[in-house]
Amino acid sequence: MVHCKIFSTIFVYVILVQMCEGLWYHFLTGQPESEDKIIFMDKVVSPDGTEQRFETRYSGTSCYKVGPIQLKMDITRPKTFKKFLNKCHMSDLKLMHKNSPTEPYQIVKVDNKNFYNTTDGGCVPSVETHYVVLLQTTTPADETLLQIHNDLLGMGITILPKNNLSVCQPKRK
């Protein structure tokens, strides 16, 4: 039985990592106003084939890139990743709604653990929880918006502000 649990955990890990592929916009976010807004997360492939994930954030005046971000599966909790920048455990990310062909979005519960100070590289305790809706487009269909609304209501979330995605644009490949 132990082997089945390990294999099912690995299978879930593969599915979740695949769900993180490509460019994901932070369309709706409960991220605290005091933090620089995460606009999108993107995967970059280096010439040697190494994959890395970076966040593009907005400070209120300019955009900047943070990374590489590491996502490590938490084998003690299903559908949960630990998010690291350098050696700073920034947050735990729990997938609440998985992307599918008919529901092209993800809902993630973010449990912040620490704030990474990009100026001095420090890791400062910051305990807070919020939700994020991730999309691979900045212009979702009305049907998708309705599905998101219904899923959020089902989770007891009535207000989740829209992120201003126009402040930072991804570089076209």
- Whether the model pTM is above 0.85: no
In the structure, what pLDDT confidence band is assigned to residue 12 with cuts at 50, 70 and 90?
very low
Q: Which of 110, 134, 114 is nearest to 123 (CA)?
A: 114
Question: Which CATH architecture does the domain made up of 2-167 adopt?
Answer: Beta Barrel (2.40)
Name 173's Cβ contacts closer than 8 Å, sequence gap at least 6: none
Per-residue model confidence as pLDDT tens digits over 147-170: 999 999 999 999 999 999 999 988
Name 51's Cβ contacts closer than 8 Å, sequence gap at least 6: 43, 44, 45
Q: For the residues 12-40, what does the mean pLDDT come to? A: 75
Q: Say how far apart CA 58 and CA 60 lie, in whole Å.
A: 6
Per-residue model confidence as pLDDT tens digits over 86-126: 999 999 999 999 999 899 999 999 999 998 887 888 899 98
The domain ranges of the chain are: 2-167
In the structure, what pLDDT confidence band is assigned to residue 172 with cuts at 50, 70 and 90?
low
Per-residue model confidence as pLDDT tens digits over 48-71: 888 889 999 999 999 999 999 999
Q: For the residues 18-28, what does the mean pLDDT come to? A: 77
